[in-house]
């Protein structure tokens, strides 16, 4: 299964592509950052992001697109651009009939590091380790896009569907589920797993 991860942004939109093979073995395929010029008008910036995303979707023909779920921030301009870029990724996927999954930054960090509050460098290091990369994916947007793809590939709820049993989960999937349940209880949220 080819998983296309997106870390949406208006200036820098991270794109990470991995392959989830047998037993959820993950392999690196591609990473890039689609950029737009902050000096251009908003419409041209959105067009540049859309064209970059759709070119990558056409090149890699993923089975699923995993996009960082946009959440509220104090900087309204940042959240607006992020939401617009996420919408472009959803649109590009929908036009190609590719399913879309949304995962929060906390879910992606937890899937990759086991800590929903991990910092950027921890995410970069673990992404490199999980995918067997010789160097850290840079910039952080690129690592975050790969983390989104990894999160979707390792997500225990997806692994249990289709009649699979919990004992068939990999060690990483079990750890992710345990950490997610612990974090959910800590935050007062009950999660379905």
Active site residues: 7, 68, 141
Write the CA distances from 34 to 14, 50, 54, 180, 185, integer angstroms: 6, 9, 11, 31, 37
Q: What count of residues does the chain have?
A: 193
For residue 19, give the DSSP letter.
Answer: E
Count CB neighbours of 178 within 10 A: 13
- What's the rounded Cα separation, in Å, for the pair 100 and 4? 10
Residue 44 β-bridge partners? none
Query: Which residue do the tokens 């952080």 mark?
Result: 140
Nearest Cα residue to 113 out of 172, 26, 42, 34: 172
Write out the H or E segment, with its range, that includes residue 64: strand 64-68
Strands lying side by side in the sheet with 2-7: 26-35, 12-20, 2-7, 64-68, 100-103
């Amino acid at each position: 299964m080819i998983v296309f991860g997106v870390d949406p942004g208006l200036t820098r939109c991270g794109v990470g592509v991995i392959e989830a093979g047998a037993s959820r073995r993950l392999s690196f395929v591609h990473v890039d950052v689609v950029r737009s010029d902050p000096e251009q008008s908003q419409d041209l910036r959105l067009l540049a992001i859309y064209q970059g995303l759709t070119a990558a979707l056409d090149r890699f023909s993923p089975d699923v697109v995993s996009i960082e779920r946009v959440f509220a921030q104090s900087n309204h301009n940042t959240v607006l651009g992020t939401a617009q870029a996420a919408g472009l990724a959803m649109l590009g996927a929908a036009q190609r009939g590719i399913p879309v999954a949304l995962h929060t930054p906390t879910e992606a960090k937890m899937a990759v590091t086991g800590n929903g509050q991990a910092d950027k460098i921890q995410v970069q290091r673990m992404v490199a380790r999980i995918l067997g990369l010789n160097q850290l994916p840079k910039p952080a947007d690129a690592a975050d896009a790969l983390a989104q793809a990894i999160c979707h590939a390792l997500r225990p709820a997806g692994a249990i569907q289709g009649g699979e049993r919990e004992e068939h989960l990999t060690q990483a999937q079990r750890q992710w589920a345990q950490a997610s349940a612990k974090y959910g209880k800590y935050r007062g949220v009950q999660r379905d797993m």
